[in-house]
Amino acid sequence: MSDHPLAGIGVLVTRPAHQSSELKNAIETAGGRAILFPVIDIAPRAAADVDTDVRALPNPDIIIFVSANAVRYGLERINSDKARIAAIGPATTQALETAGVSVNIQPEGGFDSEHLLATPALTHVAGKTILIVRGSSGRELLAETLRERGASVHYLPVYDRHTRAPATGELEKLEKTWRNGQIDAVMIMSVASLHALLEILPAYCGGQLQKIRLVAPGTRVIQTALERISGLTGILSPGPGALDMTGALIASLQPDADTDHG
């Protein structure tokens, strides 16, 4: 394989601006061109509001962080000394460990609610108090399943997530880039990001999605994309890390690659 397997390949990176550098570097190291186009803005909730919420919560037996952003904006606001700490995936685990917090519960071979719920520590939780640190909205599967298992579950929202409003001229520049044939793939990290992208994209660009590769780290994202975009080529990454995502794209470009089509 070439030292620059993404030479000539343009990749639309949709991660929030503060989380895109690692993916951008991986794409460019492989010879590709990273086109940064964040589709979601992440903003911390006011610290005073979070502190008020924390004071109203019971002391948890288990604290679940659902993302690196949950760690970034929530860890300092809560007392986690006596609770067991759960992380939904490797990026969240890394964020916690970087902050000096040991992770007691994490999924094996996965990075979503389903895999976390399959861990032995979260299988038998009757009578436990569980705190889920997350954004102001998200999937309900984790809380619903834990409640069905007998746990008392509470949310602590520590950030808000909004569809980003592109700057003046940004959409015109993106469409020009697309019309010039300089976008060959798009990387999407979540269903929420997919919905935001489809909401923002100019009509021409949206119509071109079926002609490029969409790389995502979860089957839910791929399945949702295939439902929304007829003829899409979906590439399932083995993980959400920059090397996982970039490697999945590189593998899909090989002559014998197997990809999902709508």
pLDDT digits (tens, 9 = 90+) for 209-232: 999 999 999 899 999 999 999 889
Question: How far is the C-alpha of 255 from the C-alpha of 201, rounded, in Å?
Answer: 30
What confidence tier does 139 reach under pLDDT thresholds 50, 70, 90? confident
The pairing of beta strand 40-44 with beta strand 62-65: unpaired
> 113: helix, coil or strand?
helix
Query: CB count, 10 Å around CB of 30?
Result: 21
Segments making up each domain of the chain, as ranges: 10-39+166-261, 42-162
Length of the chain: 262
- 138 contact partners, CB below 8 Å, separation of at least 6: 66, 192
Q: What does pTM read for this prediction?
A: 0.86
Residue 258's pLDDT is what?
A: 62
What is the CATH topology of the domain spanning 42-162?
A: Rossmann fold (3.40.50)
Identify the band that residue 29 occupies on the pLDDT scale cut at 50, 70 and 90. very high
What is the per-residue pLDDT for 262? 52
Fold of 10-39+166-261: Rossmann fold (3.40.50)
CA distances (Å), 160 to each of 40, 156, 228, in order? Answer: 10, 12, 25
- Intrachain domains 10-39+166-261 and 42-162 with the same fold: yes
